[in-house]
Amino acid sequence: MTEASKAFQPRPRSVHDLLFAPGSRGVLIATSKDPDAKRTFIVTPPAGTYTDGPAGPVAIKIPVTVAAAGAISRETRMLIAIGEADLGELGRTVPRYLETLDSDGLPAAVTTVVRGVPMSVGYHRWLHTSRPRAVAEDFALAGGWLRHLQLATAGTSGRITWASEVSGAVRERWSGHPMFEAAQVRLAAADRQLHSQRVAATVVHGDYWFGNLLVDDGRISGVVDWENGARSGSPLRDLIRFALSYCLYLDRHTRPGREVHGHRGLRRTGFGAGIRYGLLEAGWLPDLVRLYLRTGLDHLGLPTVLWYGAALAGLGEIAASANDDEFAANHLELLAGLPYWPLTDGPVGVEVL
């Protein structure tokens, strides 16, 4: 292409073209200070802006850093891939990619809006996580949506190499850390349990925690933030991530040293007390956690006894991949301090009062 022809190339649309177009209305709904910080706007553009898209609002995700631009590019590729898959009605719960805009030389992604309230809003309501029925409903919603995704996208079956892959990623990031060797021993134990089994690869969200699930009228109406997703990967990743994240924040509203309301034996004592409680202790919530994990494994055609080994691998994955070093290191140390096998496998069923 000559310099002259380059001069006549149309300028890429910028975020300003959409945010400040005559008649546009918008609101900033999310921002962060993470290494991959992004700002998310919900904007109602002028009618006819997207002839093959929605007539109503769209979401614009704008990067603040170069790392954030990479995350947005990954999410764009993932949403395009999901859009090409046959998800049926489930497709309505995933944002649809519309276009990429220029944001001072970095890519900003525009998608459709999926409606609903983040599950995190209910989670953090006073006493929500102290009520067995409310918690059981959260696990049922998350597990049900996930099973539909896995069924719709199941591909070729293969050996479960997830724990081994996690071990390699942990070695790459944390070799030399005082807790590295102890964490590796636990990941090796998880790999011995999992590697002999086969499971179908599926679409993976990659950050399947309650903050990314939207709820409306008693159902999952949307699942957002697909930047860590995979078109084909281990379905255990999402299954485990939801359970670990749900347990992690159980003590968020409890003073240090105090017992968490509704959970006898759980006190706010250092990082990850809720995860240790959910995986190892006795109580209605640990019972629900194990039931959720065993149910998910059973639907994947796997032995339900694998739930604990999969949980160890899930902790390792967070230690290897979390973008905040302190958060990742805390998960590494938590993993290193857990037993190789659970103290109890829990009951077969749970009665929710």
CA within 13 Å, CB half, 257: 0
Clarify whether residues 101 and 122 are in a common domain.
no
Sign for the pseudo-dihedral over CA of 31, 313, 310, 251? negative
Clarify whether residues 320 and 212 are in a common domain.
yes
Of the residues 112, 133, 152, the one at which a domain ends: 112
What DSSP state is assigned to residue 205?
A: -
Average pLDDT of every residue of the chain: 91
pLDDT at residue 281, as a whole number: 94
Q: Which of 35-39, 48-52, 120-124, 140-144 has the lowest mean pLDDT?
A: 48-52
Q: What is the CATH number of the domain that holds 71?
A: 3.30.200.20
pLDDT in tens, 44-102: 887 777 766 666 789 999 999 999 999 999 999 999 999 998 899 999 999 999 999 99
Distance CA(166)–CA(320), nearest Å, equals 7
pLDDT in tens, 187-210: 999 999 999 999 999 999 999 999
pLDDT at residue 250, as a whole number: 97
Clarify whether residues 152 and 256 are in a common domain.
yes
Residue 349 lies in a domain: no
Of 352, 208, 330, nearest to 273 by C-alpha is: 330
Residue 290 lies in a domain: yes
pLDDT at residue 46, as a whole number: 79
Of 284, 297, 299, nearest to 347 by C-alpha is: 284
Clarify whether residues 99 and 24 are in a common domain.
yes
Of the residues 82, 112, 142, the one at which a domain ends: 112
Tell me the pTM: 0.91
Q: Which amino acid is at 244?
A: L
Of the residues 112, 129, 153, the one at which a domain ends: 112
Clarify whether residues 99 and 126 are in a common domain.
no
pLDDT at residue 36, as a whole number: 72
Clarify whether residues 180 and 44 are in a common domain.
no
Distance CA(109)–CA(17), nearest Å, equals 13
Regarding predicted confidence, which is higher, 273 or 349? 273
What DSSP state is assigned to residue 14?
A: B
Element holding 277 (H helix, E strand): helix 273-280
Number of CB atoms found within 10 A of residue 80's CB: 12
Distance CA(236)–CA(249), nearest Å, equals 21
pLDDT in tens, 206-259: 999 999 999 999 999 999 999 999 999 999 999 999 999 999 999 999 999 999
H helices, E strands: number in the chain: 12, 12
pLDDT at residue 9, as a whole number: 45
Residue 1 lies in a domain: no
Structural domain that includes position 54: 13-112
Residue 56 lies in a domain: yes
Clarify whether residues 82 and 190 are in a common domain.
no
Q: What letters, b where the CB count within 10 A reaches 16 and e where it falls short, cover 47-64? A: eebeeebeeebbbbbbbb
Clarify whether residues 274 and 214 are in a common domain.
yes
Distance CA(199)–CA(300), nearest Å, equals 7
Question: What are the beta bridge partners of residue 339?
Answer: none
Clarify whether residues 176 and 95 are in a common domain.
no
